[in-house]
Amino acid sequence: MSVTSLPLTTRPLDPSVDHGIQAIVAGASLTATCATDLAAGPWEFDTRPGYGPGSSMGDVIPTGAPRQGELPAWYRSASEHELEQRIREAKAVLGDRVVVLGHFYQREEVVVHADYVGDSFQLAGAARSHPEAEAIVFCGVHFMAETADLLSRPDQAVILPNLAAGCSMADMASIDEVEECWEQLGELYGDLSQPDADGLLPVVPVTYMNSSAAIKGFVGRNGGIVCTSSNARTVLEWAFARGRRVLFFPDQHLGRNTAKAMGVPLDRMPLWNPRRAWGGNDRDELAGARVILWHGFCSVHRRFTVEQIDRARAEHPGVRVIVHPECPMDVVDAADEAGSTEYIRTAIAAATEPTTFAVGTEINLVQRLAAQYPQHEIFCLDPVVCPCSTMYRIHPGYLAWVLDELVAGRTPNRIQVPRDVADPARVALERMLAARP
Ligand code: SF4
């Protein structure tokens, strides 16, 4: 759908996805949302099992995942304006004692209060660059707050405003499943800690930033490394210089898209399903593997399809299609370009002529870019309004609550990675920082 044909309430000059969803639910917009439940406050779902409404609703939340306690009534019933005022007042009182970080995929009503906006790694860097702040309020999801805790000073408190804001992709690789996979690979390839005559390890584990600290710790303990969507190729080169093959988790699509672009044949990239013996593969497939891909995906980026790209090209001749590498391989192949959120932002910012962009990534970022660059026509490939529903759990009510708690001298929702996990996880992150193309 053309941006100009959207009803007023959903025109991207108002970058608020929430306003768009509220309009759809109220019947004031002709567009559609993936879940009308998204219009309700996240507190409606926080205490129930499962991820609640939206794109991740089919995903199974692990038992033991944190649940958010009940938000005091005022924060649930306050208007958008009242919450905005409250947040501004609390931030003014706290001053430099607090830094608020907002992820690119975060809802606009929260991002307007962020001191820094970026991807998970940029935000962890922002946390690190503020040693004077006593508290870092991370408006993202759980693994991002863990990474900020790993990279910030031990006495700084990293706070996740809603503990139920997890990431369905990160949760698809549990530490128990990964340890079991490692054990099975050891049975197949021999001692995984012993290099062969060429000095290469049988398997080097590589985890995407979108994974729990426990997985980053596992990787650090076993000679592996972390990657982001910006540096996945450099990191895979690092790993191939040290091992016969790579075990890549949790996102199969980022792993496949990156390795394919490096020339690794698809038949040397078996998929490891942790619920099946040998991951669902036979020994020959695993023996010839170059990259073993974990059976994980992002519920948001999985929604993009080749049909959407075909329709965008038919309706907007000359459209430039850019997608995120968490999209499935056929979508990346059909797009003009694929790259991280930072790549997408930079590509749009660098366009000197008015251009039509069809973007395959999270809707909050797309609508913000459309508002920021009105000289271009920018729209989301998916015509259905479907934000990252776990990130969406950071409602301004939760942000106002944690800031008020800090003003009162309390530290709510602190995310702390235990030392025995944090030390090896930092090793894996430092290897990434040192890796060069
Ligand atoms: S967009 Fe996907 S990978 Fe990112 S936090 Fe949401 S579910 Fe996780």
Ligand 1 mean position, distance from CA 168 (Å): 7
| 290 and 196 belong to one structural domain | yes
Average pLDDT over residues 116-142: 91
22-80 confidence digits (pLDDT tens):
999 999 999 999 888 888 888 887 766 555 544 344 455 556 666 788 899 999 999 99
Asked if residue 168 has its Cβ within 6 Å of ligand 1, the reply is yes
Asked if residue 171 has its Cβ within 6 Å of ligand 1, the reply is no
> In the predicted model, is pLDDT for residue 183 greater than 50?
yes
162 is in an annotated binding site: no
* Cα distance between residue 22 and residue 9, in whole Å: 9
The domain that contains 195 carries what CATH number? 3.40.50
| 176 and 291 belong to one structural domain | yes
Average pLDDT over residues 153-177: 92
| 154 and 177 belong to one structural domain | no
Asked if residue 215 has its Cβ within 6 Å of ligand 1, the reply is no
Residue nearest to atom 8 of ligand 1 (CA): 167
- The closest-lying atom of ligand 1 relative to the alpha carbon of residue 301 is 2
| 183 and 138 belong to one structural domain | no
Average pLDDT over residues 180-194: 97
| 183 and 278 belong to one structural domain | yes
**In a domain? residue 228:** yes
| 257 and 354 belong to one structural domain | no
> In the predicted model, is pLDDT for residue 4 greater than 60?
no
| 306 and 372 belong to one structural domain | yes
437 is in an annotated binding site: no
**In a domain? residue 412:** yes
Average pLDDT over residues 12-20: 84
229 is in an annotated binding site: yes
Q: What is the domain count for the chain?
A: 3
> In the predicted model, is pLDDT for residue 205 greater than 50?
yes
**In a domain? residue 53:** no
| 314 and 351 belong to one structural domain | yes
Alpha-carbon Rg for the chain, nearest whole angstrom, is 22
**pLDDT value at residue 184:** 96
| 103 and 138 belong to one structural domain | yes
> In the predicted model, is pLDDT for residue 382 greater than 50?
yes
224-246 confidence digits (pLDDT tens):
999 999 999 999 999 999 999 99
The domain that contains 129 carries what CATH number? 3.40.50.10800
325 is in an annotated binding site: yes
**Boundary of a domain, candidates 273, 298, 323:** 298
> In the predicted model, is pLDDT for residue 252 greater than 80?
yes
> In the predicted model, is pLDDT for residue 404 greater than 70?
yes
305-317 confidence digits (pLDDT tens):
999 999 999 999 9
Percent of the chain clearing pLDDT 90 (strictly above): 81
Asked if residue 390 has its Cβ within 6 Å of ligand 1, the reply is yes
**In a domain? residue 330:** yes
Asked if residue 357 has its Cβ within 6 Å of ligand 1, the reply is no
What is the average pLDDT score of the chain?
Answer: 91
373 is in an annotated binding site: no
**pLDDT value at residue 41:** 86
Question: Domain range holding 319?
Answer: 301-385
